[in-house]
Chain A
Amino acid sequence: MDERKLGDALKACLSEADFPPERRQAVLRAIRKDENAVKRRISIALVAAIVMLLVLGSAAIAAGLGVFGQAVNDQQNEQSAVRLEKLEDASVTGNDTQSAQAPSAPDVSAQPQTVHDAMLANLYGRRFSLTLNQSYFDGNKLYYAYTLTTNAPLAWYQGEGMPTGFDSWDMQEEGRYVGHYTNADEDAQRRYVTFFAGHPVGYIGRESMCVGDGADMDGEPLTILDSGETVIDSYTIQGFQEVEMPEGFVPDGDIEIELSILYGASVYCQDEENVYWAHVATPENRGILRLPFTVTLNGRTETRTGAVTTSAYSAAATVRISDVDVSGEVVFDAPEWAAAFMAGADGGHPMDLPYIGSYMLVADGVEYRNLDGAYGVNADGQFFVRIRYDLPESCSSMTLRPTGSGIAYTGETRQRESEDIVLMR
């Protein structure tokens, strides 16, 4: 495949993509509005934040948090923080550990003669332990937190000149390393930049490991919804993943899943003209190890349903209250909405009739914003709205309140109809 032709094709087909002035103005209006709101809140918020930091800082250390709880404090997981807090309490701590070993070298007596072979030799026989520290499985979603360790520190390699034993490069770009590359791992990035600043022609590489995206179940990958990973030290990483069960899945106790460990080594090098990059993996398994785990159905879910009939449509809601969140959907008997949505999706124009696109949850008088916000047409051809809320403090009474109206009111004097859906056990 001609890579230049591929790049040219993508650029040609997307050549009219633009971010027009009216959109830029909308961004500026939004941030100015937000800035004013922040200024009004700052004095109280600052005092509260300092107090909370002091309290939370000491509490976190004292509480001996699990992996979910520790992940709350990683700023990369900001959008997942509320769920992670709930998971810390709701998950079961299993600490089930499975071990695996990379394949052995074909010829253990052979001394590596090149840099490439030395890197490969270090990967052969490396041992890994993957611990499933915590899990929460409610039949619909599975959340798990893990710790991945290896038996020896992940190695670094560096030297003068070009590394030997590499017949080809996986990437090659003109110029110097500095100004070309940045890396997700800031410590590594600093080390690369420092090295190349003092070595105009040289190489630096390292070994790495991670847990692959999403668990497999019955040989099929489960859709990953969320994840996060933190490097603890040169032997250890910790992380979490959230996956969704396939549609139609019926929970029946424990499930068997498979997690994958990805490991390998990579090297950057530069000469007077180019920067090069190559990846090294044990060829026997392409650097992938798979480990089985059993996850217990430990989540508590309670289903509530409700319905409403109006002069324009009828709707039926089903929500599941888990220990982590409230989620579900509202399905409408409104064929014209479904038809309008499909027409809009095909032509890219919005629906031009009154319809409901989202609901607020009112639980014991407290309002919760919809975190999902998806709507569309399901496999049965019915218009639906997906809903997901943070877990309320209490759920004695629950009502879904539409954020708009699905009724076309033509006269001012016409009496407004209630479109709330009261959820019952």
Chain B
Amino acid sequence: MTGKPWKPGEAAEAELVRWMEDYGPMLAGTCTALLRDAHLAQDVVQETFIRAYQHRGRFRGGSEKAWLTRIAVNLCRDQQRSKWFRLVDRRVPVEELALPAPQSGGTAGQLYAAVQSLPDAYREIILLRYYQDMSMGDIAQALRLTPSSGYRRLQKARQLLKRKLERGDFRG
């Protein structure tokens, strides 16, 4: 086994604090975009760190970011499976988000809205690749995919996104 040793007590807690500092904002952004709900996203990120701490002995090395992202994505999926979640349109209007500088505002807002209009599986992979800048290997680890199926999913996501942008088939 190549994993890090299980850390008891204070050492483990210090590591948890570091995880929250290093990855908290990034996970919050990812979960916000996946769930389209900033408050729910905070709950999920909080639960992500609790579970990561509880199961830290199972982290077998590799990318911490991918491991934490995997927990967070799974928790987001649990939320998304809920019937009420599917019934309520949770797309966050672009004007409610932190918008970029005015000179690039329109394009950025349109791109974000188009990503938000993608089906869940494709939104996930686009966010991991282009928001988190994760490598394909880490994406495969986070989404529990083989690199081949991860690649196929990313290709499909990019095609869908391109089509949506061309057709304006999304709501900003």
- A182 near B63 with CB under 8 A, answer yes
Tell me the residues in window 269-296 of chain A with beta carbons closer than 8 Å to chain B beta carbons: 277, 279, 281, 286-287
- A30 near B88 with CB under 8 A, answer no
1/0 per residue, CB under 8 A from B, across A357-390: the answer is: 0000000000000001111111100001010000
A412 contacts the other chain (Cβ, under 8 Å)? no
Residue tally, chain B, CB below 8 Å to A = 76
Could you say which of B24, B111, B115, B146 contacts A18, with CB atoms under 8 Å apart?
B24
Q: B residues within 8 A CB of A384?
A: 83-84
Residue of A nearest to B116 (CB): A13
Q: B residues within 8 A CB of A26?
A: 46
- Which of B13, B50, B61, B101 has the most chain A CB atoms closer than 10 A to its own CB? B50
- A28 near B13 with CB under 8 A, answer yes
Residue of A nearest to B55 (CB): A78
- A345 near B148 with CB under 8 A, answer no
Tell me, rounded to whole Å, the shortest Cβ–Cβ distance linking A249 to chain B.
15
Tell me, rounded to whole Å, the shortest Cβ–Cβ distance linking A171 to chain B.
5
Tell me, rounded to whole Å, the shortest Cβ–Cβ distance linking B167 to chain A.
13
Could you say which of B13, B45, B97, B133 contacts A14, with CB atoms under 8 Å apart?
B97
Residue of A nearest to B81 (CB): A225
- Given the known A-B contacts A17-B25, A31-B53, are A7 and B136 also in contact in the complex, defined by CB atoms under 8 Å? no
Q: B residues within 8 A CB of A24?
A: 17, 20, 24
- A277 near B147 with CB under 8 A, answer yes
Could you say which of A181, A186, A263, A377 contacts B136, with CB atoms under 8 Å apart?
A181
- A184 near B140 with CB under 8 A, answer yes
- B54 near A34 with CB under 8 A, answer yes
CA distance A180 to B137 in the complex (A): 8
Main secondary structure of the interface of B (DSSP, over half): helix
Tell me the residues in window 1-43 of chain A with beta carbons closer than 8 Å to chain B beta carbons: 1, 3, 5-20, 23-24, 26-28, 30-31, 34
A210 contacts the other chain (Cβ, under 8 Å)? yes
Tell me the residues in window 37-65 of chain B with beta carbons closer than 8 Å to chain A beta carbons: 37-39, 41-42, 45-46, 49-50, 53-54, 58, 60-63
- A386 near B130 with CB under 8 A, answer no
Could you say which of A28, A170, A182 contacts B138, with CB atoms under 8 Å apart?
A182
1/0 per residue, CB under 8 A from B, across A48-90: the answer is: 0000000000000000000000000001100000000000000
Tell me, rounded to whole Å, the shortest Cβ–Cβ distance linking B11 to chain A.
13
A160 contacts the other chain (Cβ, under 8 Å)? no
- A27 near B46 with CB under 8 A, answer yes
- A208 near B148 with CB under 8 A, answer yes
1/0 per residue, CB under 8 A from A, across B9-28: the answer is: 00001001100100011111
- A8 near B148 with CB under 8 A, answer no
- A27 near B85 with CB under 8 A, answer no
A264 contacts the other chain (Cβ, under 8 Å)? yes
Tell me the residues in window 146-200 of chain A with beta carbons closer than 8 Å to chain B beta carbons: 170-171, 173, 180-186, 189-190
- B148 near A262 with CB under 8 A, answer yes
- Given the known A-B contacts A31-B16, A262-B149, are A376 and B82 also in contact in the complex, defined by CB atoms under 8 Å? yes
- B87 near A379 with CB under 8 A, answer yes
A248 contacts the other chain (Cβ, under 8 Å)? no
Q: B residues within 8 A CB of A373?
A: 82
Q: Which residues of B contact A (CB under 8 A)?
A: 2, 13, 16-17, 20, 24-29, 32-33, 37-39, 41-42, 45-46, 49-50, 53-54, 58, 60-63, 66, 81-85, 87-88, 90, 94, 97-101, 104, 107-109, 111-112, 115, 121, 126-127, 130-131, 133, 135-138, 140-141, 144-149, 151-152, 155, 158, 161-162, 165
Can you list 15 A-B pairs with a CB-CB distance of less than 8 A? A9-B112, A12-B108, A13-B100, A14-B131, A17-B29, A28-B17, A181-B138, A184-B145, A210-B148, A262-B146, A266-B147, A266-B151, A287-B152, A348-B37, A376-B82
